[in-house]
Chain A
Amino acid sequence: MRPATASTSNALTFTSLRLPSLETLAAWLLALIWIFPLLYAFWAAFHPPAFMVTFDLTAPLTLSNIIDAWTQAPFARYYLNTFALVTGVVLAQFVVCTLAGFAFARFPIPGKNLLFMLVLIQLFVFPEVLIVENYRIASELGLIDTLTGVGLPYVASAFGIFLLRQTFKTIPRELEDAARIEGCGWMAILWKVYVPLAKPTYLAYGLVSISHHWNNFLWPLVVTNSVESRPLTVGLGVFSAPETGVNWATVSAATLLSIAPLLVAFLLFQRQFVQSFLRSGIR
């Protein structure tokens, strides 16, 4: 599969047989309709509440909604929580999945297939499916309302192990042998041969994992119950709940605050994001 961003130089495409200008116009119109909820959130966040439903291009711009949102909810803390959570989960996943992926790719473990099946079965079984039981375990371990509790269940990512195992399997044994002749132990072999050669996989998996955990909602909602551990999505959910009576302009501002970092990341790394989704195409 070619990456989505590759350009097609061929003159004849499916649509170019019709009037190109009209076609392009329709395509852009559709794209604008499609992106409308986001555009509207921008509109509502940067205009006074009076202009929520009247689209007047001369309407005064304001930052007061953003300031209101920032001061009414502890967004700084939520940012910190989400940032710490995502960093911690992704790093831990890298370590755990690298070790397990390496073992599954290169070692003759008796019962390896059974163990690997066990890994694969949980490919889609997120903590959400067993939420009540997982909650009980987290509370027995004293992990309720901690960032560790939010992140730990995702650390043994079946998806990550699967991807890394596939990648490690494609790496020629000769490289490993050469390293061994040079006197490298398993750790040096893993660190100097396998990990560097799997860089694209780490990038792809890392981006997918970051966007997944930045946006995760149900498990963090259940496990956290204080400002100190709540990530952004849950904080926004609490802030925008209808019963709080916060006005919509402020809620839009808060919404933008919580999605802004990922939106910017997408702008900057669009090509990498698209390629990672394609490369990690099993999820």
Chain B
Amino acid sequence: MHKNVTFKNPWLPYLLVLPQMAVTIVFFIWPAAQALKQSFLVEDAFGLSSEFVWFDNFVALFTDPAYYEVMINTALFSIGVTVVTMVVAMLLAVMADGVLRGKRTYQLLLTWPYAVAPAVAGVLWLFLFNPSNGVLALALRTIGYNWNHYLNGEQAMALVITAAAWPRIAYNFIFFLAALQSIPRSLIEAAAIDGAGPARRFFSVMFPLLSPTTFFLVVVNLVYAFFETFGVIHTVTQGGPGTATEILVYKVFKDGFIGLDLGSSAAQSVVLMVIVIGLTAIQFKYIERKVQY
């Protein structure tokens, strides 16, 4: 057994964590406390005085149909991004696992989009689907489907989901491929000998073995969809048309910096923080005891 006390200076550990704590206090604890405080206050029209209003900001928030709509948008968007990302990534990984020639090139091609920032991915997809001269928008028009995501909210949502999922698929692909390659071939061979076709082999043998990876990716993708996709929304639709693609993070930004409604914006930050901490807790439960099946 080692004794823990190995250095003479009792202040040393505190000195070591000091820089980190200083930044954490200034850019996390203090602003979190401020948001919490602000979320219980209402400022007068001139910003001169504020009044303590208990949960009024939260009540106003949760009874506001606009916030309700944004919640639904966020749910749709984040579930959409997660599902699209994982289904496509799994498909690509299964294929990459099978490709025998040019494997390296193939994998490089598939991981490449991860180098593209979400904001830039938004710009790339906007090229393709720009109603006036985007290649794919024009192609859709020639087969009789009128694409205009500036007017059609559903099309706008589909486009931001696609653009947000696209760079993310590469990340998921890496994890699925690694997990697939760690599955013992003998298991799959055994299933094949028992007469299981490719689809059956996938769903009965490989998919269950991928469940720890899948679970991990669900949480990470949800966090991504919630908090890191602002750039996509901002470059592709700016929340529009109307508020059809406005998600929680975008609304915090809009209310805080454009609408300057500080009480509501602070309450929204608090809601976001609760979501983040919830997802983190789930994540850590996962790390402690890996998913069992």
Contacts and interface: CB of A to CB of B under 8 A. Distances in A.
The finding on whether chains A and B are genuine partners in a shared complex, rather than unrelated, reads yes
A214 B133 contact: no
A76 interface: no
Contact of A233 (B34, B119, B276): B119
Nearest to A134: B31
Contact of A118 (B12, B24, B276): B24
A2 B269 contact: no
Given A156-B19, A273-B111, A132 B2 contact: no
B20 A27 contact: no
Interface in A85-125: 95-97, 99-100, 102-104, 106-109, 115, 118-125
A281 B216 contact: yes
Interface in A245-280: 248, 251-252, 255, 258-259, 262-263, 265-267, 270, 273-274, 277-278
Interface residues of B, number: 110
Given A30-B91, A133-B34, A259 B26 contact: no
Q: How large is the interface on A (under 10, 10 to 19, 20 to 34, 35 or more residues)?
A: 35 or more
A215 B118 contact: yes
Interface stretch (B43-51, B72-80, B251-259): B251-259
B227 A124 contact: yes
A15 B98 contact: yes
Select the residue from A129, A134, A273, A281 with max chain B CB neighbours within 10 A. A129
A259 B120 contact: yes
A216 B117 CA distance: 7
A35 interface: yes
B148 interface: no
A154 B123 CA distance: 26
B53 interface: no
Contacts of A17: 192, 198
Contacts, number: 321
A120 B272 contact: no
Interface string B168-196: 01010011011111100100110010000
B181 A6 contact: yes
Nearest to B162: A37
Contacts of B231: 217-218, 233, 237
A277 B174 contact: yes
B192 A12 contact: yes
A12 to B, nearest CB: 5
Given A131-B252, A132-B269, A107 B16 contact: yes
Contact of B110 (A7, A31, A109, A217): A31
Contacts of A8: 97, 181, 185
B4 A108 contact: yes
A258 B272 CA distance: 31
A16 B98 CA distance: 6
A44 interface: yes
B230 interface: yes
A198 interface: no
B24 A34 contact: no
B96 interface: yes
Contacts of B12: 107, 186
B230 A128 contact: yes
A205 B37 CA distance: 35
A271 to B, nearest CB: 9
Contacts of B175: 277-278, 281
A37 B20 contact: no
Interface string B26-38: 1111111011001
A1 B133 CA distance: 45
B230 A7 contact: no
A222 B227 contact: no
Nearest to A102: B16
A97 to B, nearest CB: 7
A14 B201 contact: yes
B94 interface: yes
B139 to A, nearest CB: 9
B104 interface: yes
Contacts of A131: 252-253, 256-257, 269
B133 A52 contact: yes
Interface stretch (A18-26, A56-64, A67-75): A18-26
Contacts of A97: 20
Select the residue from B32, B88, B124, B189 with max chain A CB neighbours within 10 A. B124
A221 interface: yes
A17 B223 CA distance: 38
Shortest Cβ-Cβ A-B pairs, 4 listed: A15-B98, A215-B117, A133-B31, A217-B231
25 contacts: A4-B111, A6-B181, A14-B98, A24-B100, A27-B95, A28-B99, A30-B91, A34-B169, A36-B128, A40-B135, A97-B20, A100-B19, A118-B29, A126-B227, A129-B273, A130-B273, A156-B20, A173-B2, A221-B234, A233-B119, A265-B115, A266-B114, A266-B115, A273-B111, A283-B220
